[in-house]
Structure 1
Amino acid sequence: MTLPIRLMHEGAIATLLIDNPPRRNAMSRAMWRAVPGLVAEVIADPAIALLRVAGAGGHFCGGADIAEFGDAYGSPDAIAHSNRLIREAIEAVAACPKPTIATIRGACVGGGVALALACDLRLAADDARFAVTPVRLGLTYSHADTRRLVLAVGANRAKEMLFSARAVAAEEAARIGLVDRLWEGAVFEEEAARYLDGVAATSRPALRGVKAMVDAIAAGAATETPELAALFEDPFAGADFQEGYRAFLEKRPARFTAP
Structure 2
Amino acid sequence: MTLRLLRQAGIATLLIDNPVRRNAMGRAMWQALPGLVAQAVADPAIAVLALTGQGAHFCGGADIAEFATGYATPEAASASNAAIRAAVDSLAECPKPVVAVIRGACIGGGVAMALACDIRIAAEDARFAVTPVKLGLIYSQSDTQRLIRTVGVGRAKEMLFTARMVEAAEALRIGLVERLLPPDDFEAGAAQILAGLAATSRPALRAVKRMADAIEAGAPPDAPELDALFEDQFRGADFAEGSAAFLAKRPPRFTAG
Pairwise TM-score range, normalised by the shorter structure? over 0.9
Q: How does 1:4-23 map to 2 (within 5 A)?
A: 4-23=2-21
Determine if the alignment matches structure 1 residue 137 to structure 2 residue 135.
yes
Stretches of structure 1 that go unaligned for 5 or more consecutive residues are none
- Between 1 and 2, higher relative CO (CA 8 Å, sep ≥ 6) is seen in 2
- Name the TM-score, length of structure 1 as normaliser: 0.98
Q: What's the counterpart of residue 187 of structure 1?
A: 185
Identical residues among aligned pairs (%): 65
Is the CA contact (8 Å cut-off) linking 2:99 and 2:119 kept in structure 1? yes
Distance 2:219 2:187 in 1: 36
Of 96-105 and 225-234, the range deviating more from structure 2: 225-234
Deviation track 1:69-119 (CA, whole Å, cap 9, x = no partner) reads 000111011000000000000001110000000000001000000000000
Matches of 1:25 and 1:174, distance apart in 2: 23
What is the CA–CA distance in structure 1 between the aligned matches of 2:256 and 2:110, rounded to whole Å?
Answer: 33
Is the CA contact (8 Å cut-off) linking 1:240 and 1:258 kept in structure 2?
Answer: no
TM-superposed CA distance for 1:222, in Å, is 2.7
Root-mean-square deviation (CA), in Å?
0.7
- Structure 2: where are the runs of 5+ without partners? none
Moved over 4 A (4+): none
3-state DSSP of counterpart to 2:128 = strand
Q: How many residue pairs are counted as aligned between the two chains?
A: 257
Q: Which residue matches 2:45? A: 47
Partner Cα distance (2:220, 2:166) in 1: 33
**Partner SS for 1:97:** coil
Counterpart-to-counterpart distance in 2, 1:92 and 1:238: 28
Q: Distance in 2 between matches of 1:65 and 1:122?
A: 22
Counterpart residue number, 2:170:
172
TM-score (norm 2): 0.99
2:65 paired residue among 43, 67, 79: 67
Cα 1:172–1:31, aligned 2, differ >3 Å: closer, same or farther?
A: same
Which residue is equivalent to 2:100?
102
Secondary structure of the corresponding residue to residue 130 of structure 1: strand
Q: Which digits, 9 at most, give the CA deviation of each residue in 1:27-65, with x for residues without a partner?
A: 000000000100000110000001000000000001100
* 1:34 aligned partner, one-letter code: A
- Where 2:6 maps in the other structure, the secondary structure is strand
- For residues 170 and 224 of structure 1, the distance between their equivalents in structure 2, rounded to whole angstroms, comes to 38
Does residue 130 of structure 2 align to residue 93 of structure 1? no
SS of 1:255's partner is coil
